[in-house]
Structure 1
C-alpha cells in the first residue's frame, strides 16, 4: 500500500526548462561547452544525462561547479517559475486523500521553498531534500532508513531517465511524466512502472496503489 509520493521538482512540478536552458547557455563560454538551441534541446530530450554530458563536451570535473553556479543563477529567476497547469489541484487532492508528499531534487532546497511559496504550495509537502544530479538514489535511501519506510510504500514521480534509474536503485515504484525534459519515447524505453501524459492521471494511479 503506497503511503508516500516523492516528486522531482524541475520539469515535473515546475516548468523551468526554458529558464534553465537560458542560464546554461549563458554559462557555456565560462565552462567551455556547447550552448543549445530549443531545436537541439528537443533532440537532447531523447538522451540520458551522461549522453548529454558527452555531447556538450563539458568536463566531468567542472560539472559540480557548473551545477552550483546554475542553482545560484536560478535564484534570481525564482519569481518567473510557474507550476505546470493542473499540478496544484492534483497535489491538493492527493494530500486530502492522505498521502504524504515530499520532494527530492537536484535543485537547491532554498530555490524550491521559495518557488513553492510564490506558487501557493508551501503547505503541501512534508519534506524537501536536495541531492546531486546523479545522487538522488542516495538521498532516497538515506530517507528510507531514517524514517523506517518500506520501499513498497513509496512511489517517485519524475520527468527524466535518471529519475527512473534512481527509483530502480532504491526499490521504489516510479511514475514518469511526459511533460518534462526527457521525451515520452525515451522514458518508455527505460520501462517506468507508469508513464503519464497529464497530471490528472496521477490521481487514477494513486487511487489504485493506495
Structure 2
C-alpha cells in the first residue's frame, strides 16, 4: 500500500449502529400521535437512510404536506426522548464496530468519516454516547440533499483532499451504495443491515466487521 491518504466513509444506522428498534418505535409513536396507523416494520426499515422528510413522504405519500410535517416533528420528539432516556443503549453498536474503527484509525494513511441520513444533533449524540472520536469528516442530512445524491461523499472528499479512487463508502442500504456509486467511489455492503446486501450491487459484501480491514488492504 502506498502512503496516499485513503478515505473510509461509513453509514451509521444499520451499518455501525443497530438502531432498528429505536427507529421503528419512534415512527410508531409519531403515527400514533397523529392518529394514523403505523407502517409495518418492513416498510419503515425500507426507508432508513433517506433524510427524514423524504422518508416520511415515501411512507405517507397520500397525506398532505402539513400532516407529513406533523409526523416528522413527532418522530424527532419521540426519538430524542427515547435517546435521552436510554443513553448508549438506545442505538448500540454492532459487534466488532468499535474494534474495527480503532484498528482502522491506527493506520496512518486512513481517514475515517461518516455519511448518514441522521440529523446533526442525532449524529453528535450517538458519537458522544459511544465515544467515537475517530471521524475526521461528518456528513449528515441537515447539510445535504438526501441520499442517494452524492453530495455527502463529494463533500467528505473535498474536506479531506482524498481522490475518488482512494475512497470507499460502506453501508447497508441501496441509498448508501447508490450514493457511493454516483460519487465515483468503491462501495462495500454489509449484510447485517436493513436492505438485503446481495441486491445492492456493491463492489464488495462483508459478513462481519472482521472482514473489513483485510478487504481494504487487498483493495489498496
Give the TM interval when normalised to the shorter protein.
0.7 to 0.9
**Could you say what the CA RMSD is over the residues aligned between the two structures, in angstroms?**
3.2
Give 2:27's aligned residue. 24
Query: For residues 47-86 of structure 1, what are the structure 2 equivalents within 5 Å?
Result: 57=61, 59=63, 61=65, 66-67=71-72, 69-78=74-83, 79=87, 80-86=90-96
Q: Match for 2:196 among 179, 183, 191?
A: 183
Determine if the alignment matches structure 1 residue 140 to structure 2 residue 156: no
Alpha-carbon separation, structure 2, partners of 1:175 and 1:193: 6
Q: Match for 1:120 among 128, 131, 145?
A: 131
Q: Deviations over 1:140-199 (max 9, x none)?
A: 223333443311111011111111110111001111111111123xxx233101111111
Report deviation, 1:72. 4.4
Q: Match for 2:181 among 157, 165, 168?
A: 168
Q: Which has the higher contact order (CA 8 A, sep 6+)?
A: 1
Report deviation, 1:23. 0.9
Contact 1:33 1:57 in 2 (8 A): no
Question: Could you tell me the TM-score, scaled by structure 1's length?
Answer: 0.80
Question: Could you tell me the TM-score, scaled by structure 2's length?
Answer: 0.77
Determine if the alignment matches structure 1 residue 7 to structure 2 residue 16: no
CA spacing shift, 1:145–1:60, aligned 2, 3 Å: farther
Q: Match for 2:121 among 110, 134, 137?
A: 110
Contact 2:24 2:44 in 1 (8 A): no
Task: Name stretches of at least 5 consecutive residues in structure 2 with no aligned partner.
Answer: none
CA spacing shift, 1:190–1:124, aligned 2, 3 Å: same
Give 2:139's aligned residue. 129
Give 1:35's aligned residue. 38
Number of residues of Structure 1 aligned to a counterpart in Structure 2:
204
